[in-house]
């Protein structure tokens, strides 16, 4: 019994030391290039800045929702 609990404690300790080593590695990371600027609010909400595929998907979804809405009404 005591041997089993001792072994589990040792494995927990080794896992914890691995975790702390990994977190040290993660916190010491420095990016090689600066982050890109955040998108402006106009880009995210307006339909003018969408790529063609995104605009087509948006139109298709709108048409689909309209057809679903008309099905439930009748």
Question: Does the pLDDT value for residue 1 go beyond 90?
Answer: no
Separation between Cα atoms, residue 51 and residue 59, nearest integer Å: 12
Q: Are 43 and 49 in contact (CB under 8 A)?
A: yes
- Give the model's pLDDT for residue 67: 93
Q: Are 49 and 42 in contact (CB under 8 A)?
A: yes
Mean predicted confidence (pLDDT) in 37-62: 77
User: Which residues span the domain enclosing 18?
Assistant: 1-27
Residue 71 in domain: no
Handedness of CA 67, 71, 73, 74 (dihedral sign): positive
Residue 21 in domain: yes
For the chain, helix, strand, coil in percent to 5 are 70, 0, 30
Structural domain tally of the chain? 1
Using pLDDT thresholds of 50, 70 and 90, give the confidence band for residue 56: very high
Residue 43 in domain: no
Question: Does the pLDDT value for residue 12 go beyond 90?
Answer: no
- Give the model's pLDDT for residue 74: 59
């Amino acid at each position: 019994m005591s041997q089993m609990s001792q072994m589990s404690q040792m494995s927990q300790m080794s896992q914890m030391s691995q975790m702390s080593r990994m977190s040290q590695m993660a916190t010491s990371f420095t990016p090689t290039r600066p982050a890109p600027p955040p998108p402006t609010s106009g880009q995210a909400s307006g339909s003018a800045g969408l790529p063609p595929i995104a605009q087509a998907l948006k139109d298709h979804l709108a048409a689909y929702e309209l057809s679903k809405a008309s099905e439930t009404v009748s």
